[in-house]
């Protein structure tokens, strides 16, 4: 049966976007005093729009000329000299420049105060709004940054410099639709910006616009076919559209490029397994296990997948070839690994090996619910009914395995036509997990119990 919505796939989808797409910085490079264009603009050789830029007096212009060498070589000295020149009546341009210097020196609080002072002195100061917003975005103060970004746009910031940061702010405020509009505008001015492309891509994924995501990634892959993230992200988009063939093709290309990491190979294994291609699934799972970057949870997952499908040969092969990593697992993960080994051995009829593993696990931890439950199943297969009942009772004391232990115990009793205690166990199950699944089961067993007693 084809499973199109896998928890494993969804977990894999989250990873690419949690690292990279939101980690965008906005250096104030346009406003560095090493930029000759910016120097000229401030010193008056570049025309000002006086509706959004404060005027400076001749004396203030002289101050700037004296500051330029300090700004380039000794920012702290420039800060001190500029602070001494600022008064309540001085131009907002001085406060703005002080804010830039503070920002360059990573004195964020001082920078914000200086920009805010510049805005109070000159309420339409576009560049002060812009830089204040960018500093706030860099600091992750997205909600505070949005009004200043919007004010900058209102004042004529139509060069695209504010749309990208606005998109990032909206994205972090969980407003992907607004963020998408902002990124679209940003890309009109800077179509080759990877920051804006990746921001837009994140919006499309958050809005479940997977076809659009895949199409956008197609263009990005054409520009940089060696970027493993693009292939991986497009595979995730295909998976979300239930297009397993395209997703697996992407991941195979990634593998042949030599750029497939453990998570990608594991995901490829998941796809093949859910398509019934067990040999190819096993091959990719084993390749994934060879990757040091593969997490311990991801290492164990294929064994779970094989066991849940009763593919005991594949489960046993996988566990045998990955047992060298057993020491790298946590105690709980080691227990899970060994329990899966026991299940695989049981499935292959190797009951003695399974019993040895499970008894050792239970001896080490008498409240190991999974080991107790599996041991109970083994004892039941071996017709050791009393031992199985005891194991199920012990497993039922562990919250994680309580319901399964009660159900398996009840099934064993039903197989023995011992219906009354089975009914009691299933009544507990229904209290723990109400719903038709177990309620219907209970009703059928109750009917069998009445019938066994000659009752209608």
CA distance linking residue 360 with residue 358, whole number of Å? 5
The string of DSSP codes covering 170-197 is HHHTT-HHHHHHHHHHHHHH-TT-HHHH
Q: Are 231 and 250 in contact (CB under 8 A)?
A: yes
- A 10 A CB-CB count for 59 gives 10
272 or 257, higher pLDDT? 272
Compute the distance between CA of residue 361 and CA of residue 372 in angstroms, rounded to an integer.
Answer: 9
- Proportion of the chain above pLDDT 70, given as a percent: 88
What whole-number distance in Å separates Cα of residue 46 and Cα of residue 40? 6
Burial (Cβ within 10 Å: 0-12, 13-18, ≥19) of residue 284: buried
Name, in order, each residue with C-beta under 8 angstroms of 196's C-beta and a sequence gap of 6 or more: 163, 164, 167, 183, 186, 187, 190
For the residues 323-328, what does the mean pLDDT come to? 89
Asked whether the beta carbons of 221 and 231 are under 8 A apart, the reply is: yes
Res 245: pLDDT: 93
Reported as a pLDDT band with limits 50, 70 and 90, residue 286 is very high
- Cα separation of 319 and 337, whole Å? 8
Residue 317 near residue 349, CB atoms below 8 Å: no
**Dist. CA 260–CA 17, nearest whole Å:** 17
pLDDT tens for each residue of 232-242: 899 989 998 88
Which residues are within 8 A (CB) of 288 and not within 5 positions of it... i.e. 6 or more apart? 262, 263, 264, 265, 266, 269, 294, 298, 302
Q: Which residues of 214-230 are buried (b: 16+ CB within 10 A; e: fewer)?
A: bebbeebbeeeeebbbb
Look up residue 6 and give its two tokens: 């896998």
**pLDDT at residue 16 above 60?**
no
Distance CA 327, CA 315 (A): 19
pTM for the full predicted model: 0.67
- Measured between alpha carbons, how far is 171 from 163 in angstroms, rounded to an integer? 12
pLDDT tens digits, 76-101: 888 998 999 999 999 999 999 899 88
Structural domains of the chain, with CATH:
261-314 (no CATH), 330-456 (1.25.40.10)
Q: What is the pLDDT of residues 330-341, one digit of tens each?
A: 999 999 999 999
Evaluate if residue 10 carries a pLDDT over 80.
Answer: no
User: Model confidence over 165-190: pLDDT tens digits?
Assistant: 999 999 999 999 999 999 999 999 98
Helix (H, G, I), strand (E, B) or coil at 348: coil
Query: Distance (Å, rounded) from C-alpha 393 to C-alpha 404?
Result: 11
Q: What is the largest CA-CA distance in the chain?
A: 110
The two counts, helices (H) then strands (E), for the chain are 25, 0
């Amino acid at each position: 049966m084809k499973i199109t919505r896998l928890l494993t796939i969804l977990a894999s989808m989250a990873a690419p976007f949690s690292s990279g797409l939101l980690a965008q910085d906005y250096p104030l490079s346009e406003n560095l005093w090493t930029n000759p264009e910016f120097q000229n603009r401030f010193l008056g050789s570049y025309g000002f729009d006086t509706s959004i830029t404060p005027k400076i007096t001749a004396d203030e212009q002289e101050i700037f000329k004296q500051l330029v060498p300090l700004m380039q070589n000794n920012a702290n000295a420039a800060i001190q000299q500029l602070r001494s020149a600022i008064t309540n009546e001085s131009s907002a341009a001085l406060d703005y420049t002080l804010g830039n210097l503070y920002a360059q020196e990573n004195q964020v609080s001082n920078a914000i105060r200086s920009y805010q002072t510049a805005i109070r002195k000159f309420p339409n100061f576009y560049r002060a709004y812009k830089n204040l917003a960018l500093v706030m975005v860099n600091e992750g103060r997205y909600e505070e940054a949005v009004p200043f970004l919007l004010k900058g746009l209102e004042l004529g910031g139509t060069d695209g410099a504010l749309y990208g940061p606005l998109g990032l702010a909206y994205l972090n405020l969980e407003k992907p639709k607004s963020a998408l509009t902002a990124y679209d505008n940003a890309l009109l001015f800077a179509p080759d910006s990877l920051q804006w492309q990746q921001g837009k891509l994140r919006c499309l994924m958050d809005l479940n616009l997977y076809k659009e995501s895949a199409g956008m990634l197609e263009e990005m892959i054409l520009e940089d076919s060696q970027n493993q993230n693009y292939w991986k992200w497009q595979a995730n988009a295909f998976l979300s559209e239930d297009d397993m063939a395209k997703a697996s093709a992407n991941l195979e290309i990634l593998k042949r490029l030599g750029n497939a990491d453990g998570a990608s190979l594991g995901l490829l294994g998941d796809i093949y397994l859910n398509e019934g291609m067990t040999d190819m699934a096993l091959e990719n799972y084993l390749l994934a296990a060879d990757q040091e970057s593969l997490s311990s949870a991801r290492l164990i997952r294929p064994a779970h997948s094989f066991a849940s499908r009763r593919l005991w040969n594949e489960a046993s092969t996988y566990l045998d070839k990955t047992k060298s990593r057993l020491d790298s697992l946590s105690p709980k993960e080691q227990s899970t690994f060994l329990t899966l080994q026991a299940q695989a051995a049981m499935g292959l009829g190797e009951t003695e090996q399974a019993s040895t593993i499970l008894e050792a696990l239970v001896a080490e931890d008498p409240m190991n619910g999974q080991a107790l439950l599996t041991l109970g199943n083994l004892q039941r297969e071996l017709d050791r009914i009393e031992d199985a009942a005891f194991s199920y009772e012990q497993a039922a004391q562990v919250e994680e395995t309580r319901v399964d232990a009660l159900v398996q115990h009840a099934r064993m009793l039903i197989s023995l036509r011992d219906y009354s205690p089975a009914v009691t166990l299933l009544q507990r199950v229904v209290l723990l997990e109400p719903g038709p699944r177990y309620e219907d089961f209970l009703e059928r067993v109750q009917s069998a119990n009445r019938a066994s007693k000659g009752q209608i």
